[in-house]
Amino acid sequence: MDRKLISRRIGSILDDISRLSNALYAMDTTDIQRYPDNYEILSTDAALRAERIACRLRHLIYSSTSIQKGEYLQSASVAQGISIAYENGVLEVTLPGLLPKRRQRQSSEFLLDPLYFALEQYAKEQPLPHYRNCVVCFAQVYDQTLPTRRVRDYDNLEEKQLLDLLSTFVMADDSGLLCDAYNTTELGEQDCTKIFVMEKNRFPQWLAERKESLKTISDF
Protein backbone atom coordinates (compact mmCIF):
# COMPACT_ATOMS: atom_id res chain seq x y z
CA MET A 1 0.00 0.00 0.00
CA ASP A 2 1.18 3.51 -0.81
CA ARG A 3 2.84 5.24 2.16
CA LYS A 4 0.80 8.41 1.68
CA LEU A 5 -2.43 6.42 1.75
CA ILE A 6 -1.31 4.65 4.93
CA SER A 7 -0.52 8.01 6.53
CA ARG A 8 -3.94 9.39 5.58
CA ARG A 9 -5.67 6.38 7.11
CA ILE A 10 -3.59 6.62 10.27
CA GLY A 11 -4.38 10.34 10.49
CA SER A 12 -8.09 9.60 10.18
CA ILE A 13 -7.84 6.97 12.92
CA LEU A 14 -5.99 9.46 15.14
CA ASP A 15 -8.88 11.89 14.62
CA ASP A 16 -11.28 9.18 15.78
CA ILE A 17 -9.10 8.52 18.81
CA SER A 18 -9.21 12.23 19.67
CA ARG A 19 -13.02 12.17 19.46
CA LEU A 20 -13.06 9.05 21.62
CA SER A 21 -10.90 10.81 24.20
CA ASN A 22 -13.34 13.73 24.24
CA ALA A 23 -16.28 11.38 24.68
CA LEU A 24 -14.57 9.62 27.59
CA TYR A 25 -13.80 12.96 29.22
CA ALA A 26 -17.45 13.97 28.87
CA MET A 27 -18.50 10.65 30.43
CA ASP A 28 -16.15 11.22 33.34
CA THR A 29 -17.59 14.67 34.07
CA THR A 30 -21.27 13.78 33.63
CA ASP A 31 -23.36 13.22 36.76
CA ILE A 32 -24.82 9.78 36.04
CA GLN A 33 -27.42 10.13 38.81
CA ARG A 34 -28.81 13.47 37.59
CA TYR A 35 -28.35 12.95 33.85
CA PRO A 36 -28.61 9.21 33.16
CA ASP A 37 -29.88 9.72 29.60
CA ASN A 38 -26.94 11.96 28.71
CA TYR A 39 -24.53 9.47 30.22
CA GLU A 40 -26.09 6.64 28.21
CA ILE A 41 -25.73 8.59 24.96
CA LEU A 42 -22.12 9.51 25.73
CA SER A 43 -21.13 5.99 26.76
CA THR A 44 -22.76 4.45 23.69
CA ASP A 45 -20.99 6.95 21.45
CA ALA A 46 -17.65 6.19 23.09
CA ALA A 47 -18.10 2.43 22.80
CA LEU A 48 -19.08 2.61 19.14
CA ARG A 49 -16.15 4.88 18.35
CA ALA A 50 -13.78 2.43 20.03
CA GLU A 51 -15.21 -0.44 17.99
CA ARG A 52 -14.94 1.54 14.75
CA ILE A 53 -11.32 2.32 15.58
CA ALA A 54 -10.58 -1.37 16.19
CA CYS A 55 -12.23 -2.38 12.91
CA ARG A 56 -10.39 0.31 10.93
CA LEU A 57 -7.08 -0.74 12.44
CA ARG A 58 -7.79 -4.35 11.50
CA HIS A 59 -8.40 -3.39 7.88
CA LEU A 60 -5.23 -1.31 7.87
CA ILE A 61 -3.24 -4.31 9.13
CA TYR A 62 -4.71 -6.62 6.48
CA SER A 63 -3.93 -4.22 3.64
CA SER A 64 -0.51 -2.95 4.71
CA THR A 65 1.23 -5.92 6.37
CA SER A 66 1.84 -9.60 5.71
CA ILE A 67 -0.34 -10.62 8.68
CA GLN A 68 -3.21 -12.83 7.52
CA LYS A 69 -6.76 -12.04 8.60
CA GLY A 70 -7.28 -15.44 10.22
CA GLU A 71 -4.01 -15.21 12.11
CA TYR A 72 -4.91 -11.81 13.54
CA LEU A 73 -8.52 -12.64 14.38
CA GLN A 74 -7.53 -15.71 16.39
CA SER A 75 -5.49 -13.37 18.57
CA ALA A 76 -8.36 -10.86 18.63
CA SER A 77 -10.80 -13.51 19.90
CA VAL A 78 -8.46 -14.22 22.82
CA ALA A 79 -7.97 -10.51 23.54
CA GLN A 80 -11.74 -9.93 23.52
CA GLY A 81 -12.36 -12.80 25.90
CA ILE A 82 -14.47 -14.89 23.52
CA SER A 83 -14.86 -18.36 24.98
CA ILE A 84 -16.48 -21.58 23.77
CA ALA A 85 -17.41 -24.58 25.90
CA TYR A 86 -19.42 -27.75 25.38
CA GLU A 87 -20.79 -29.78 28.28
CA ASN A 88 -23.78 -32.05 28.87
CA GLY A 89 -25.16 -31.47 25.39
CA VAL A 90 -25.05 -27.66 25.67
CA LEU A 91 -22.76 -25.42 23.64
CA GLU A 92 -21.96 -22.16 25.45
CA VAL A 93 -20.42 -19.15 23.70
CA THR A 94 -19.43 -16.06 25.67
CA LEU A 95 -18.99 -12.73 23.89
CA PRO A 96 -17.62 -9.47 25.32
CA GLY A 97 -20.24 -6.80 25.95
CA LEU A 98 -23.92 -6.72 25.11
CA LEU A 99 -25.27 -7.46 21.65
CA PRO A 100 -25.36 -4.37 19.43
CA LYS A 101 -28.46 -3.16 17.64
CA ARG A 102 -28.78 -4.16 14.00
CA ARG A 103 -28.09 -0.64 12.72
CA GLN A 104 -24.63 -0.65 14.33
CA ARG A 105 -22.92 -2.59 11.55
CA GLN A 106 -19.33 -2.13 12.65
CA SER A 107 -20.24 -3.34 16.12
CA SER A 108 -21.35 -6.66 14.65
CA GLU A 109 -18.17 -6.90 12.58
CA PHE A 110 -16.18 -6.30 15.75
CA LEU A 111 -17.71 -9.48 17.23
CA LEU A 112 -18.49 -11.70 14.26
CA ASP A 113 -15.08 -11.90 12.64
CA PRO A 114 -13.21 -13.02 15.80
CA LEU A 115 -16.06 -15.38 16.74
CA TYR A 116 -15.87 -17.11 13.36
CA PHE A 117 -12.18 -17.83 13.75
CA ALA A 118 -12.62 -18.84 17.41
CA LEU A 119 -15.21 -21.43 16.37
CA GLU A 120 -13.00 -22.60 13.53
CA GLN A 121 -10.05 -23.05 15.89
CA TYR A 122 -12.22 -24.85 18.48
CA ALA A 123 -13.47 -27.24 15.79
CA LYS A 124 -9.88 -28.09 14.85
CA GLU A 125 -9.02 -28.99 18.44
CA GLN A 126 -12.17 -30.89 19.44
CA PRO A 127 -15.41 -31.94 17.77
CA LEU A 128 -18.32 -29.54 17.80
CA PRO A 129 -21.88 -30.84 18.32
CA HIS A 130 -24.33 -30.86 15.44
CA TYR A 131 -27.93 -30.03 16.29
CA ARG A 132 -30.93 -30.78 14.10
CA ASN A 133 -33.84 -29.51 16.24
CA CYS A 134 -32.37 -26.97 18.60
CA VAL A 135 -32.97 -24.04 20.90
CA VAL A 136 -30.68 -21.01 20.95
CA CYS A 137 -30.85 -18.91 24.11
CA PHE A 138 -29.36 -15.40 24.06
CA ALA A 139 -28.58 -14.22 27.60
CA GLN A 140 -27.82 -10.52 27.98
CA VAL A 141 -25.71 -10.27 31.14
CA TYR A 142 -25.58 -6.83 32.77
CA ASP A 143 -23.02 -5.64 35.29
CA GLN A 144 -24.88 -5.92 38.60
CA THR A 145 -23.02 -2.93 40.09
CA LEU A 146 -24.54 -0.54 37.52
CA PRO A 147 -28.11 0.87 37.45
CA THR A 148 -30.78 -1.56 36.26
CA ARG A 149 -32.26 1.14 34.01
CA ARG A 150 -29.50 0.16 31.57
CA VAL A 151 -31.43 -3.00 30.76
CA ARG A 152 -32.76 -2.79 27.20
CA ASP A 153 -35.57 -4.52 25.38
CA TYR A 154 -34.78 -7.25 22.88
CA ASP A 155 -35.95 -5.38 19.78
CA ASN A 156 -33.48 -5.14 16.89
CA LEU A 157 -30.62 -6.92 18.62
CA GLU A 158 -28.00 -8.29 16.24
CA GLU A 159 -28.99 -11.95 16.58
CA LYS A 160 -29.63 -13.04 12.99
CA GLN A 161 -26.00 -12.78 11.92
CA LEU A 162 -24.93 -14.71 15.00
CA LEU A 163 -27.48 -17.41 14.22
CA ASP A 164 -26.23 -17.59 10.65
CA LEU A 165 -22.67 -17.95 11.90
CA LEU A 166 -23.49 -20.59 14.51
CA SER A 167 -25.58 -22.59 12.05
CA THR A 168 -22.53 -22.89 9.81
CA PHE A 169 -20.73 -24.81 12.53
CA VAL A 170 -23.31 -26.58 14.71
CA MET A 171 -26.81 -26.57 13.17
CA ALA A 172 -28.55 -28.39 10.38
CA ASP A 173 -30.49 -25.18 9.67
CA ASP A 174 -31.48 -22.01 11.53
CA SER A 175 -34.97 -21.84 10.03
CA GLY A 176 -37.94 -21.51 12.36
CA LEU A 177 -38.88 -25.13 11.74
CA LEU A 178 -35.67 -26.47 13.23
CA CYS A 179 -34.44 -23.69 15.51
CA ASP A 180 -36.20 -21.78 18.32
CA ALA A 181 -34.60 -18.59 19.66
CA TYR A 182 -35.14 -17.27 23.19
CA ASN A 183 -33.92 -14.20 25.05
CA THR A 184 -33.28 -13.63 28.71
CA THR A 185 -31.64 -11.06 30.96
CA GLU A 186 -29.26 -11.77 33.82
CA LEU A 187 -27.14 -9.77 36.24
CA GLY A 188 -23.48 -10.70 36.56
CA GLU A 189 -19.98 -9.49 37.31
CA GLN A 190 -19.62 -7.66 34.00
CA ASP A 191 -21.46 -6.93 30.78
CA CYS A 192 -21.34 -9.81 28.33
CA THR A 193 -23.51 -11.95 26.09
CA LYS A 194 -23.86 -15.69 26.55
CA ILE A 195 -25.32 -17.89 23.84
CA PHE A 196 -26.48 -21.40 24.67
CA VAL A 197 -27.33 -23.96 21.99
CA MET A 198 -28.97 -27.31 22.76
CA GLU A 199 -31.46 -29.83 21.44
CA LYS A 200 -35.09 -28.82 22.04
CA ASN A 201 -35.75 -31.73 24.38
CA ARG A 202 -32.84 -30.59 26.58
CA PHE A 203 -34.11 -27.02 26.98
CA PRO A 204 -36.80 -27.39 29.72
CA GLN A 205 -34.41 -29.11 32.12
CA TRP A 206 -31.59 -26.71 31.30
CA LEU A 207 -33.83 -23.68 31.89
CA ALA A 208 -35.06 -25.01 35.24
CA GLU A 209 -31.49 -25.69 36.37
CA ARG A 210 -30.30 -22.26 35.25
CA LYS A 211 -33.17 -20.45 36.95
CA GLU A 212 -32.29 -22.28 40.14
CA SER A 213 -28.63 -21.31 39.93
CA LEU A 214 -29.26 -17.72 38.81
CA LYS A 215 -31.90 -15.92 40.81
CA THR A 216 -31.62 -12.89 38.49
CA ILE A 217 -32.71 -14.67 35.32
CA SER A 218 -35.76 -13.10 33.69
CA ASP A 219 -38.81 -14.94 32.49
CA PHE A 220 -38.99 -15.83 28.81
CA distance 43 to 92: 28
Q: pLDDT above 90 covers what percent of the chain?
A: 40
Mean pLDDT, rounded, for 91-102: 82
Distances (CA, A) of 170 to 35, 134, 197, 203: 44, 10, 9, 16
Q: Torsion over CA of 126, 80, 53 and 111, rounded to 10 degrees?
A: 50
CA distance 90 to 129: 9
Domain boundaries, the chain: 1-67, 73-220
- Give the predicted TM-score (pTM) of the model: 0.74
pLDDT exceeds cutoff 90 at 129: yes
pLDDT band at 68 (very low <50, low <70, confident <90, very high): confident
Mean pLDDT, rounded, for 15-42: 90
pLDDT exceeds cutoff 50 at 220: no
The continuous run of DSSP H or E covering 87 comes out as: strand 83-87
- Lowest-confidence region among 51-60, 105-114, 146-155, 203-212: 105-114
Give the residue with greater pLDDT, 155 vs 196: 196
Sheet holding 90-96, edge to edge: 83-87, 90-96, 192-199, 134-143, 179-188
- Lowest-confidence region among 93-107, 117-131, 163-177: 93-107
pLDDT tens, 147-190?
A: 777 787 776 567 888 899 999 999 988 888 889 999 988 888 88
∠ CA 1-47-26, nearest 5°, is 115
pLDDT exceeds cutoff 80 at 41: yes
User: How many residues would you count in the chain?
Assistant: 220
CATH superfamily membership of 73-220: Holliday junction resolvase RusA (3.30.1330.70)
CA distance 155 to 101: 8
pLDDT exceeds cutoff 80 at 110: no
